Amino acid sequence: MNGPTLRTLTGAVAANVAGIRTRTRSMIMAVVKADGYGHGAVTVAEAAVAAGAGWLGTTSVGEACALRAAGLAVPILAWLHASGVDAEAAAAAGVDVAVGSVDELGALVAQAASTVRVHLHVDTGMSRGGCPRRQWDELIGVAQRGHRARRVRVVGVMGHLPLADRAEPAANAAAVAGMREALKAVRAAGLGSPLAHLAATSGALTDPATHFGMVRIGAGLVGIDPSGTVEMHGASRLTAPIVHTSAVPAGTPVGYGGAYVTYRAAHLSVLPVGYADGIPRELSPRAGVEVRGRRFPVAGRVSMDQIVIDTGDRYFPTGTSATVFGPDGGATPSVHDWAHWAGTIPHTIVTGIGPRVRRSIA
């Protein structure tokens, strides 16, 4: 009997890349941070590149080097550097780095022994990272000095859209204007015509004005559209076997605190997944899983290692497979259903599946 398994559906990743391609003429970067949104960074990256993504994106240089070690040769950008930019590793692996502050760029210029490809990260309204507008001139000045010393080469300018999930192009206008201003300043400084990228999944799907030279697709790779405007292909299926079943009378309390009480005689089945595996502890009473074509409710509170489902008059033997979520529709819940039941976003569902859950590729 196999334990809980998360299957990554590479065909769905490819279909999502193809869907994005119909909406933009810009290059596509497949962002595989957070281990490919919980689906396996290398697995998702390979599927996306095979489907036409020309770039990959990661948070760190270390993650980018792991993709290189797996044989992925397309350009890769890393843009979060918790311990500073590892210039030597980036240059050796041919990994681009985004730099969003004067101090960070200055440190990179000071330590680089060979030329590092840099994307200037400018704040276009997120106030979460990127160089603030008042320091753009200083940032560009440091880039000029690094360029003259052959320590850095500016090949890109990036920003973020803080309001793209609204799917209203007017909400993106200020960020688009900021990106154009930054590009103009970089070109005027003699740093060439770098690749500009501003939009993530929502912008790519809803606002062509944000596309510039490249769009960055992360959640969209695995079937999540944060704007809620486009139906995409879910790229994962989480299954778990029934490990225990009991028949109980009406009025039986279930789980810690007895928050759920059976209203008639029923069968209760236990699945070996819990909040330590990424199942949200706080769920609405509508939460359920699919077993043999029917949806059955989660009964009682989620435990650390298990959940209970009420299958009513249906008895299922040990080893019967239940689908916690998947892309199938009908009785099978989606990650969006689980996000709704937990009062969160689908990103937290797929990235929260823990390491005890076996991974496979389909």
Q: Catalytic residue positions?
A: 33, 256
Beta carbons within 8 Å of 307's beta carbon, 6+ residues apart: 270, 271, 273, 274, 279, 289, 298
Largest CA distance in the chain: 80
How far does Cα 153 stand from its chain's mean position? 29
- Asked whether the beta carbons of 143 and 156 are under 8 A apart, the reply is no
Task: Look at residue 309 and give its three-state secondary structure.
Answer: strand
CA distance 266 to 274: 22
CA distance 167 to 71: 36
Phi-psi region at 71: left, alpha or beta (left = phi > 0; alpha = psi -120 to 50): left
CA distance 276 to 4: 12
Which pair of tokens denotes residue 121? 């990260």
CA distance 335 to 248: 30
Beta carbons within 8 Å of 344's beta carbon, 6+ residues apart: 280
Can you count the helices (H) and strands (E) in the chain? 11, 19
Rg for the chain (alpha carbons), in Å? Answer: 24
Could you list the residues known to form a binding site for substrate, using ranges: 128, 304
Distances (CA, A) of 256 to 201, 260, 326: 40, 9, 28
Which residue type occupies 265? A
CA distance 93 to 66: 10
CA distance 135 to 133: 5
